[in-house]
Chains A and B, each alone.
Chain A
């Protein structure tokens, strides 16, 4: 069965969605990610959607769910790399992706996650 790879990098999980999601694939990703968060104790989830040419309400809901569930599991979710046309369409569709953070690219997304976790832990991260 098709699966979207989840990479672990320190405290974070990285997911790059390179193919157009069909429903089963999206749902698998959701459950895989949540299980990975639980297993690894990851504090942040970064989802790169730069290769997605559309995000419809179903995918939006999956992304929102990942954010909400991760939040309960004490991990922040950031969605990065959204194409401008996708952003325009999402807003017109009525989907605001509440509950997930967004950043322009992977680099800024990682920084955002680091900052979030620093603030939460209220102590500087040891390098």
Chain B
């Protein structure tokens, strides 16, 4: 299992928070010595998800964690909102599908950029997304 080494929570409620949040994720990624390419992938994935949270659920709570599994270190991000939820997750994970007017790349793109990705959603209750990016993965 994972050991959580360091943890931070951040409430997202307006669009300027996206930039602050990205910077915070970057600080964590730099701290564990993640490569620039992996940092960029992680921050881009984070940006997609935090944007989704704002757009579809008017914000939510994010958790940034430094985790370790064996000898590997990584960053785990959790996004929790109390929005309308996603009726069909398989559909939402398809490239090009969007209920908004966007490109429909956010969720599937964020998954491709992550090492591990998990999404749970209950209609009417909200959505929770967890992603992990390993330092060397």
Contacts and interface: CB of A to CB of B under 8 A. Distances in A.
Contacts of B44: 54-56, 89, 93
B18 A22 contact: yes
Contacts of A86: 40
How big is chain A's contact interface, by range? 20 to 34
Given A57-B109, A58-B51, A94-B112, A23 B18 contact: yes
B105 A93 contact: yes
B68 interface: no
> Interface SS of chain A: helix, strand, loop or mixed?
helix
Given A20-B22, A23-B18, A57-B109, A95 B103 contact: yes
A85 interface: yes
A53 B40 CA distance: 7
Given A92-B112, A94-B109, A57 B103 contact: yes
B39 A95 contact: no
Interface in B4-41: 15-16, 18-19, 22-23, 26, 36-37, 39-41
Interface of B: 15-16, 18-19, 22-23, 26, 36-37, 39-41, 43-44, 47-48, 51, 95, 102-103, 105-106, 108-109, 112-113
Given A22-B16, A86-B40, 14 more contacts: A20-B22, A22-B18, A54-B47, A56-B47, A57-B106, A58-B51, A60-B103, A88-B41, A89-B40, A92-B41, A92-B109, A92-B112, A93-B113, A94-B108
Interface of A: 20, 22-24, 53-58, 60-61, 83-86, 88-89, 92-95
